Amino acid sequence: MRKVLLIAAVFLTLVGCGSDTDFVKNGTMNFNSTITVGKALDSWKSCEESGWEEFKTDNGVRVVQFSCQHRIGQFFTEMKSLLSESDRAEVDHLDVIANVQTFQFTLNQDDTFQIDNVQVKTTWMDGTSFKDSQEPIEQLEMVYANQLSFEPDELDSTVAAQIYYLFMVIKANAS
């Protein structure tokens, strides 16, 4: 009988322990508690592919990470079509093959979590890439609003020209 009770106690303990990922996914943010973090990120229409992972840093901080490979193909195709003929001749800096945004949540000792870091990595056909930090809450608000990061319908020739020059500068700083 003791053996059965011990097995039952161990089972209940293990069942009660969810993963750090589940803890974050089932949580809400202070700025918007209408849906969970997991529901917002997993249903974000900007992601072509996405995934969750968890890990510990060297000093023991528990981190849950969500990565989103943004839908970029239609955006860059539309943008190139709106450029002037002279700009269209030099579009190497627009040959973006990947734009991955990573959200990192850290877990606290008091059984809470917060958004800690948001990074974006842009990669071009020639293998160069550029990584940059972004404002975490601002980026999460975009997720919660289910906005595309690269919205082709918002492009016109003026916006396309501005983005053309922006990516020229970013590509110049890529390695």
Distance (Å) of CA 115 to CA 26, 89, 97? 14, 42, 27
Whole-number Å distance between alpha carbons of 20 and 59: 17
CA dihedral 149, 152, 156, 161 (to 10 degrees): 60
At residue 8, does pLDDT exceed 60? no
DSSP 153: G
Structure pTM? 0.84
At residue 2, does pLDDT exceed 60? no
Residues 64-112: tens digit of each pLDDT: 999 999 999 999 899 889 988 888 888 888 899 999 999 999 999 999 9
Whole-number Å distance between alpha carbons of 144 and 96: 26
Q: Between 47 and 16, name the one with better pLDDT.
A: 47
**Mean per-residue pLDDT of the chain:** 89
- Alpha-carbon dihedral sign for residues 100, 101, 106, 107: negative
Q: Between 170 and 10, name the one with better pLDDT.
A: 170
At residue 11, does pLDDT exceed 60? no
Burial class (CB in 10 A: 0-12, 13-18, 19+), 22: middle
Measured at the CA of 130, the angle between CA 128 and CA 131, to 5 degrees, comes to 140
Residue 11 C-alpha from the chain's centroid: 35
- Alpha-carbon dihedral sign for residues 25, 99, 136, 55: positive
DSSP 76: H
At residue 16, does pLDDT exceed 80? no
Choose the weakest-confidence range: 7-16, 65-74, 154-163. Answer: 7-16
At residue 3, does pLDDT exceed 60? no
